[in-house]
Structure 1
Amino acid sequence: MQLQNNDGESENSLTSADLSALLQSLGQERSRQTFRQLFEFFAPRLKTYFLKGGATSELSEELVQETFVIVWRKAEMFDSRKASASTWIYTIARNLRIDRFRKERRYLYKDDQFFANALVGEETQFDDHHQSQLSERVKKALPLLPAEQSTIIKLAFYEDASHSKIAQYLQLPLGTVKSRMRLALGRLRKLLEGVDL
């Protein structure tokens, strides 16, 4: 994804007020030039956000594109009195990320509302307290999983390894890794219900 600013202006010179004005203008005028300015400003930041959240580079770019499809379609709904442009766009990105990871069954938490509240910063994926708490619960539940499943969970959860990296490391087909991951997460969710800190 090549991002260029043909106007010669530094994208970093845009203020929060500038971004809100651009987003409002997009909603009113549907200008491709305005859309391009918003895309060039936010796309690299959103990609970094998705990467920090554990998405692959390819998935991150896909989620950036999906975010901006929604921005284009719903820009007229933006209200600068209720939120900044950054907050509005990052909320779209966060919700897409949650939906995608839910579909891939990558969640370890039972409560989706927790994800909606926890995955909110541009800088961090999880609040340290909840991450530490979950880590302790998972640690206690892992020995109760079959060895091949617990190994995959350890690599994904503690090493932050992607499915493809796990497959490469364990010399297993990618489909096998995904299948074991699904089984492990399903079992782990049930086990976590009975694990006390």
Structure 2
Amino acid sequence: MRTASESSEQDLKQMTDWLTAVAQQRCRDAYRQLFHYFAPRIRAYGLRHLRSEAQAMELVQDTLLAVWQKAHLYVPERGTPLTWVFTVMRNQCFDMLRRQMNSREQLLAEDLWPVLEPVDGSQQDERGEQQILARQLAHYVHLLPAAQQEVVRGVYLQEMTLQELADRLQVPLGTIKSRLRLALEKLREQVGKQDD
């Protein structure tokens, strides 16, 4: 009968063999074994951190696809297959969380225009529409702190991307996103007060 330590060493050797076979021979059987071993563990991690079954399963797929594609980068001397696969998994999870945050920021930014009065497109040409929207926006923007005004004007009136604005102002992209989020919340409040 094997001890827990011997069993663990045997499992590590087996995983190393599977990962090596995937890296060197593109062995589908070895990959299938890795998939069956890691999929439930990655799913559990995804459920804890992403809080969605669909996203947890997407994390499983993205991680194990990356394992297939990057297996040749695994170096046994630097760590166990477990450590390497979980590092790949965490990186994939961070990427998913970043995409979610960027998506939320884009949606938040696009929410501003519906707050302003709609313009009947049949009565105004596009340039006239932009001028009306700019005037409406300017009416509220002056109520914001200077740093938030700068971001709103850059994004909506100068049509700069968030990254272009971050580069121009020499601040991190996350700072620009935070300023925009706060500005949009304040603008919504102001528009709401005007409508009451």
TM-score under structure 2 length normalisation: 0.47
Structure ID, larger Rg: 2
Q: Larger relative CO (CA 8 A, sep 6+): 1 or 2? A: 1
Of Structure 1 and Structure 2, the greater helix share is in 2
